[in-house]
Amino acid sequence: MEEEGSVQFIQQKSNVPTCCTFHPKDRYAFAFGGSDGEITVVNALRGEIVRSVPLGSLSLARAINALNFSPDGSKAITTSVSRKVSIVDIERGTPLLAYDNCASPIDVRQPLIVHPSLPYLAACTTVNARGITLLDFRMPLPLDFIYDLHEDSINDMCFLDGSWPWGSGKAVLVSGSALGEVKVNSVDGRPICSFSAQPPVTCLYPSPERYNVSLSNGYPSVMMASTGEGLVCWCVGKRPWKWETQKVNPGRVTCMRYTVSGGVLYTAEGKTVYRYRRYPERHQVIGQVFSHTAPILDLDLSPYNEYLITAGKDNMVGLLHLGAPNHGWTQRCEFT
């Protein structure tokens, strides 16, 4: 069985990487963006940069503050400090579409999410960071704006698929603000429920399985959140609008990802990546994975959990081989 490797750091001279994400189809390809305004594609197997795609001219403020792929992997979606959302053909390196004045210009990592079942629908924060911009890639203008949803800036948001109890079979939006408010809204902006936490809410991430599909084995679906009191775990109560909270760790988390099975959680807490084991009734920290020399801004896992990547303020992109892919061992061996 393959063992976990040693972390490799990809040095960036003048670029501070703010966001990183794995390609949804290519198990070895990932991309990161940062202050130089370029999308850099890397081969994780070789640890080498494949290509860089600039988003604009040097005369424009073009630092990237969010990056994601379309579900088919053909397009890269970015937001930048110039308030622009750009859609790029990642293979050809050519721009396809741009939406002006619809994204937050804040120069730290911003939320940018893609709908779980509609590959052409995405969402980011509005210019004042208090609302949500909905984008349909088939349209030349933004689809809709949910203005001033929160009283302070939205730090993170996510889509929950239609199996969760609020959307009547349709995906819903969950957003968390600097004031500690977490709100659940339909995609058209209709409020469904909300609850408060110790401010600020800096990160939200749901367990990966469909809602309570593993409940018979004792694993209820949960929402992990980083709040003012640290990392907490929310579980939907007996009523769909009631949440039950359990503290997991007092540390502040900037980004987190579950493995595909939902059994292990990786978190970025300050300069360090931590690993947690998920149990039916709790999350338990296993230990540190590796550290940067400056705070980590983003973190992601490859589709088959082979690799973990990080983007740090120390101008480094971290790359760690976790082991064999979770769909089965791919190497050849002989039993004697």
CB burial class (10 A; 0-12, 13-18, 19+) of residue 193? Answer: middle
Structure tokens at 242: 């009631």
10 Å Cβ neighbour count for 246? 12
Instruction: Enter the pTM of the model.
Output: 0.93
The phi, psi pair for 135, rounded to 5°, reads -125, 135
Which single residue is written with the structure tokens 């760690």? 320
- CA-nearest of 42, 24, 37, 23 to 317 is 42
Q: How far apart are CA 265 and CA 259, in angstroms?
A: 6
For 125-157, the pLDDT digits (tens) are: 999 999 999 999 999 999 999 999 999 999 999
Contact 7, 318 (CB under 8 A): yes
Give yes or no for residue 217 having a pLDDT over 90: no
Per domain, the residue ranges of the chain are 149-253+255-294
Residue 69, CA atoms < 13 Å, CB-side half-sphere: 22
Provide mean pLDDT across the span 327-335.
Answer: 47
Which H helix or E strand runs over 95?
strand 94-99
pLDDT: which is higher, 25 or 241: 25
pLDDT at 166: 87
Tell me the pairing of strands 264-269 and 255-258. Answer: antiparallel
Q: What is the CATH T-level fold of the domain 149-253+255-294, as seen in this structure?
A: Methylamine Dehydrogenase; Chain H (2.130.10)
Q: Give one DSSP letter per residue of 255-295, joined into a string.
A: EEEE-TTSSEEEEEETTEEEEEEE-SS-EEEEEEEEE-SS-
How far is residue 6's CA from residue 2's CA, in Å, rounded to a whole number? 12
CB 296 within 8 A of CB 254: yes
CB 108 within 8 A of CB 118: no
Label the pairing between strands 17-22 and 181-186.
Answer: unpaired
| Most confident residue range from 58-62, 113-117, 289-293, 331-335 | 289-293
For residue 242, pLDDT beyond 70: yes
Q: What is the pLDDT of residue 199?
A: 94
Cα–Cα distance, 251 to 273 (Å, whole number)? 12
Query: Is-contact 23 40, C-beta < 8 A?
Result: no
Confidence of residue 328 (pLDDT cuts 50, 70, 90): very low
Residue 31 has pLDDT above 70, yes or no: yes
92 CB burial (10 A radius; 0-12, 13-18, 19+): exposed
Residue 59 has pLDDT above 60, yes or no: no
pLDDT more than 70, % of the chain:
94
Residue 36 is classified by DSSP as T
